[in-house]
Structure 1
Amino acid sequence: MITDEDRRTRGVEAREDFVRDTWYPVLESKRLGRRPVRVTRLGRELVLWRDAQGQPVAQEAACPHRGADLSQGRVVGGCLECPYHGMRFAADGTCVRVPCEGKARPIRADLRVMGYAVRESLGLVWLWWGEQREELPPLPWNHELLGAGTGTCTATLTWNVPFARVMEGNLDLHHFPFAHRRWAPGMGTRLDPYTARLEGDIIHTHGVLREDDGKPWDGRSGFAAEIRVLFPHLLLARFGSLTQTMAAATPIDEENTWIVFRYRSQLPLVGGLVAWFLVQMEVRLIQPEDYALLRASEPRHPVRQDFHLVRADAGIALWFRLYERRLEAQRQNPGARPPMVRAL
């Protein structure tokens, strides 16, 4: 097993890092109403709220005055009001009201709350984690990810599992007949055929779990699945011709991950019911088993050298290759940290 000292020797940090210059989903849109919401994402304590136009805003949760939790405040006139002293902050972070000073006294320029660029799409609020630019890139896979519409059902999970371990599990197909044998009796254990390839930042995998009968695949038997991952954290999967799923993983901090997933069924009339049933199966039966296994896996923060991968892990190997290259590039450019922005 690779130790932390081995990682330091090889130039690989033992601690988790977060891939930069990408959009991360941070909250379901339906969870963000009239009241502010506090979340921890990417190691930062954030308050999310909606301005006068109903657009989402993400800012540092601590009031710049004396550190009160702004998520316990309220939205007044399109501004966020601190629950402790009533100071109000606009969507761009500017303080527009200091009650104790009176209306006539000028407000100090440094009394402002820091924020992040956010966008809303597909029933999710997305946060830009990267260097600020005049024009931010479009949301990833926006034309392919499943919207929260007819025939879909969405759920979220919070796992005490590091981000890399979650993504490793998302690309693992051949664990199913063992980790979930109670729900898939008789499922074949041989993953054949199986392919994994990389196109830019997209990992394409396709495999069939079938009986190990020594015969070539007949093109029909077995359980077929297609899994695509847009590095670092977005997944699209297809099981059969009528069922799709998407998942996204966002680090909460170095040890925990927020996961959102959505099923879509294209069955006429009953698609929404089927999607709801599949989500219930995931939440109540499948995901608890995956969570228990991933949480107990060692080391918690793996690198590729920790593993002895087999052919069926080719997709996982590709993800870790991208992950380690990206983190190494970020370490070579330590000054390019994702800053909080002053104007959104």
Structure 2
Amino acid sequence: MRDTWYPVLESKRLGRRPVGITRLGRELVLWRDARGQPVAQDAACPHRGADLSRGRVVGGCLECPYHGMRFAADGACVRVPCEGKARPIRADLRVKGYAVRESLGLVWLWWGEHRSELPPLPWNHELPGVGAGTCTATLTWNVPFARVMEGNLDLHHFPFAHRRWALGMGTWLDPYTARLEGDVIHTHGVLREDDGKPWDGRSGFAAEIKVLFPHLVLARFGGLTQALIAATPIDAEHTWVVFRYRNGLPIVGGLVAWFLVRSELWLIQPEDYALLRDSAPRHPSREDFHLVRADAGIALWFRLYERRLEAQPR
């Protein structure tokens, strides 16, 4: 999905040395300029293709590890040692760059057409940031992007896929609602015992899940716990996932968030990963599914996904 801000790296991973990553099908190098601002560029040196992430930052520029050519944050080559200082540098010796922003403890990359004025970062004031009461982790999955997002909208898998940890959780998703407002999918559901009675407003496991299409998820469990989940394609077959919990309890909120993240890493996510990795087909469309009422949020996401894919330039 183009024309979107994608998180590509945790800010704390980007220090004084360049970092090489693959995101959105591109080999990228991220580094910080003399002001400490993040820079994202193609990792291949335009001279002869060396991996710039193996280089170093010198004087606010990125130096190629192969021949010492240096590139500024705007992509221009500013030094070619083998040619000497007096010889002009050819104008086309420059590395392609990408607009990046830093917010909420993440580096975000604009994946889309160049614009004179880029849109603001999505949900910047609503998503949980770093700091007290939060804990963050990342995963790299051998699962295509659409399958990851499908799993993020699936509430009724929990008592079965995670039966060892979901002791006593009901299997009936009632009530459940899903609606689309612009690019935001709103879902709310309660997993409870199937007693055939109207919900009493208290029993069961309640969750509110909002998705800002295509890739940002904000989930609320009860009144004190929030979860941010963001998925960014690495390539057609792999996805980078960052998730963050925030708990509002005084004093112990950070410990609760840490426990929730560790539970995800050690217990929940390995089970989700195995199921999504082996689901067929790996690149589904709505026609591949026979969805039920409890999949209404998934249906809305795929409707948007297929519509946007058709509208994108070939």
TM-score, with length taken from structure 1:
0.91
Residue 266 of structure 1 corresponds to: 248
Structure 2 counterpart of 1:102 = 84
Given candidates 148, 166, 186, the residue that maps to 2:148 is 166
Q: Which amino acid aligns with 2:243?
A: F
Please report how far the alpha carbon of residue 216 of structure 1 lies from its aligned counterpart in structure 2 after TM superposition: 1.4
Residue pairs, 1:75-224, within 5 angstroms: 75-224=57-206
Deviation of 1:215 after TM superposition, in Å, equals 1.5
Task: Say yes or no: does 1:252 pair with 2:222.
Answer: no
1: distance between equivalents of 2:67 and 2:213?
43
Q: Which amino acid is the alignment partner of residue 117 of structure 2?
A: E
Query: What letter corresponds to residue 259 of structure 1 in structure 2?
Result: V
Q: How much does 1:219 deviate?
A: 1.1
Matched, 1:304 2:286: yes
SS at match of 2:257: helix
Give the superposition deviation at 1:253. Answer: 0.2
Secondary structure class of the residue paired with 1:178: helix
Alignment partner, residue 225 of structure 2: 243
User: Of 51, 71, 76, which aligns to 1:69?
Assistant: 51
Which residue number corresponds to residue 8 of structure 1? none
Offset, 1:257: 0.2
Counterpart of 2:121 in 1: which secondary structure?
Answer: coil
Unaligned runs of 5+ residues in structure 1 are 1-18, 335-344
Alignment deviations for residues 179-238 of structure 1 (CA, whole Å, 9 cap, x no partner):
001011111000000000000000000000000112111111100000000000000000
C-alpha distance in structure 2 between counterparts of 1:314 and 1:184, whole Å: 23
- Please tell me the residue identity of whatever aligns with 2:104: L
Name which of 26, 44, 47 aligns with 2:26: 44
Partner of 1:10: none
- Counterpart residue type for residue 108 of structure 2: W
Instruction: State the shift of 1:242 in Å.
Output: 0.8
Query: CA offsets, 1:7-66, max 9 Å, x none?
Result: xxxxxxxxxxxx111100000000000000000000000000000000000000010111
Q: Distance in 1 between the 2:63 and 2:88 partners?
A: 18
SS at 2:179's partner residue? strand
1:287 aligns with 2:236: no
Could you tell me which amino acid in structure 2 is paired with residue 169 of structure 1?
G
CA distance, structure 2, for counterparts of residue 107 and residue 194 of structure 1: 63
Residue by residue, what CA displacement relative to the aligned partner does 1:300-320 show, whole Å, maximum 9, x if unpaired? Answer: 000000000000000000000
Q: Deviations over 1:134-186 (max 9, x none)?
A: 00000011111111111000000000000000000000000000000101111
Structure 2 residues not aligned, in runs of 5+? none
Counterparts of 1:153 and 1:20, CA distance in 2: 29
Q: Paired residues, what number?
A: 314
Cα distance between partner residues in 2 of 1:78 and 1:216: 64
- TM-score by length of structure 2 reads 0.99
Letter in 2 for 1:131: E
Q: RMSD across aligned C-alpha pairs, in angstroms?
A: 0.5
CA distance in 2, matches of 1:219, 1:23: 37
C-alpha distance in 2, partners of 1:151/1:217?
31
Per-residue CA distance 1:274-328 (angstroms, 9 max, x = gap): 1000000000100000000000000000000000000000000000000000000
Equivalent residue, structure 1, for 2:299: 317
The amino acid of 1:286's aligned partner reads I
